A and B are shown apart, each in its own frame.
Chain A
């Protein structure tokens, strides 16, 4: 009986998964727990109050013993968390691992990417420095410009017409409770789907999930954890100028993972931009079905054309991130 209850851990995996690029799913999984853990430690000192949040982040960063380390792990951990999801996504796209029967695995992964971006956005909104304030402002204005439900959503996030104490508490609630809970649910569903439908490679040579694959994943995680500590040591997290609603600083920019959207919104009219972004989100989330539909409607070369478009889009993402980083 006891043996059976742990039977689900007894799984053979294709040997290709020893390659780092095929083992990318485990990295965000472990980093999620690191984010939760460091988040709990940050909560010991963080004050989710409009007028005190800035001071409390400053206290964590400069006064509390090893506060810089915990904040550094959380801050840079978030970056690596999102970066590893992007890499995992690109590998899945390139190897067409989203093909039937793994469409739902792709969709849950896509939802997790947007939840992570949401967690990133709400996270740096809580710092209350200039970047944080203006990012919140631009983000909520962007939501407000969306047709039909934009105003409702913006009021829901801001808790009123202006950014205030209500906004801080709502972003805090989203960042601490709602988004991590949703992420945990989707991570669980994603793993269940991976277990049910398997991975895309079906080679003859196999090795065990536990302990062999787990050993590899833990090694990757220890490497990343060490790297995060070193990065925090070399570039300790800082806090910018206190939020000032009367002055937008020049060269204000969001975090790097929003650069493609930031750059895109400079180029196109706002309404068109929002409609195109919404369309992109849906096309991206349901891509496995879009590809099938395109093949049915437009013939056998349609998936190739779509994949080329996806490749060009990835190039645009890389270009936008590099360009905005250098500007």
Chain B
């Protein structure tokens, strides 16, 4: 069967347009549906060291709870988000353990997994002390 040049060119043009259009359309549709926003590094003030007695303190930030633990002069901050499936772990000061109520993961005072299904230790946040003030690097958050 003989194919005419004009027919051939129009077909090529059509297929190319469909290919390009679908690629462009799908790509932009994904950009529309999956939101991407600017994220910035956030450092928060966590109170004064002198006010924090030997023990622990919880700080709420966005939908996160940070657990500050003071040991001698050192302050460590842990994210209370369980590394298994995102439930909120709770610090048990008498047992010195973090416990997750969802699937039973248990972490020690350094955030390391003791038992349960959690795949990794609790996230430890960089904490700095400047002139008695506690400053915690909470990570990257979307600009409001």
Measured CB to CB, the residues of A under 8 A from B are 134, 137-138, 140-142, 145, 152, 155-156, 159-163, 166, 245-252, 262, 265-271, 273
Q: Evaluate contact between A152 and B34: CB separation under 8 angstroms.
A: yes
Smallest distance from the beta carbon of B28 to chain A beta carbons, Å?
Answer: 15
Seed contacts A141-B84, A141-B86; 15 additional CB < 8 Å A-B pairs: A138-B87, A156-B33, A160-B37, A161-B142, A162-B142, A163-B63, A245-B63, A246-B60, A246-B65, A248-B87, A248-B101, A251-B101, A252-B87, A266-B104, A266-B116
Cα separation A138 to B104 with both chains bound (whole Å): 14
B35 touches A269 (CB 8 A): no
Contact B102 A270, beta carbon cutoff 8 Å = no
Q: Which residues of A contact B37 (CB under 8 A)?
A: 160
Q: Kindly identify which residue among B39, B100, B101, B117 contacts A270, using a CB–CB cutoff of 8 Å.
A: B117
Query: Contact at B141–A265, with CB atoms within 8 Å?
Result: no
Are B63 and A134 in contact, CB atoms less than 8 angstroms apart?
no
Contact: B86 with A137, CB < 8 Å? yes
A166, closest chain B residue (CB):
B35
Q: Which residue of B lies closest to A273 (CB)?
A: B117
> A138 contacts B101, CB within 8 Å?
no
Residue of A nearest to B104 (CB): A266
Distance of B6 from chain A, by nearest CB (Å): 41
A51 to B117, CA, bound (A): 33
Which one of B85, B103, B142 lies within 8 Å of A160 (CB-CB)? B142
User: Inside 8 A of B117's CB, which chain A residues have their CB?
Assistant: 265-270, 273
**CB neighbours of A160 from chain B (8 A):** 35, 37, 142
| Chain B interface size range | 20 to 34
Chain A positions within 8 Å of B85 at CB level = 137-138, 141-142, 145, 265, 270
Nearest neighbor of B36 in chain A, beta-carbon distance: A155
Q: How far is the CA of A266 from the CA of B101 in the complex (A)?
A: 11
A36 to B34 CA separation, bound complex (whole angstroms): 28
Within the assembled complex, what's the spacing in Å between the Cα atoms of A246 and B90?
A: 10
Residues in chain A near residue B62, CB distance under 8 A:
162
Known A161-B142, A246-B88; judge A252-B101 contact (CB<8 A): yes
A192, B95: Cα distance in complex, Å: 61
Interface contacts (Cβ under 8 Å), in number, total: 71
CB of A138 within 8 A of CB of B86, answer yes
Q: In whole angstroms, how far apart are the Cα atoms of A247 and B39 in the complex?
A: 25
B133 beta carbon closer than 8 Å to chain A: no
- B93: interface (CB < 8 Å): no
At the interface, yes or no: B25 with Cβ under 8 Å from chain A? no
Interface flags, B73-115, vs A, CB<8A=1, else 0: 0000000000011111000000000001111100000000000
Also in contact, A252 and B102, with CB within 8 A (given A245-B63, A266-B117) = yes
Q: Shortest Cβ distance from B107 into chain A, in angstroms?
A: 14
Cα of A142 to Cα of B117 in the assembled complex, Å: 13
How distant is A163 from chain B, measured CB to nearest CB, in Å? Answer: 7
What residue of chain B has the Cβ atom nearest to residue A251's Cβ?
A: B101
CA distance A138 to B88 in the complex (A): 11
Contacts of A273 in B (CB 8 A): 117
Whether B55 is near chain A, meaning CB under 8 Å from some CB there, is no
> Which of these, A163, A248, A271, contacts B102 with CB under 8 Å?
A248
Asked whether, in the complex, the Cβ of A138 is within 8 Å of the Cβ of B35, the reply is no
Closest-CB distance, A249 to chain B (whole angstroms): 7
B96 to chain A, nearest CB (A): 19
B119 and A270 contacting across the interface, CB-CB below 8 Å? yes
Docked Cα-Cα span, A267 to B87, in Å, equals 17
Asked if B63 and A162 sit within 8 Å, CB to CB, the answer is yes
- Contacting pair A161 B86 (CB below 8 A): no
Contacts of A250 in B (CB 8 A): 101
Contacts of B119 in A (CB 8 A): 269-271
Contact of A134 among B33, B39, B102, B142 (CB under 8 A): B102
Residues of B within 8 A of A163 (CB): 63
Asked if residues A248 and B88 are in contact (CB atoms below 8 Å), the reply is yes
A118 vs B100: C-alpha distance when bound (angstroms) = 26
Q: Which of A155, A162, A247, A266 contacts B103 (CB 8 A)?
A: A266
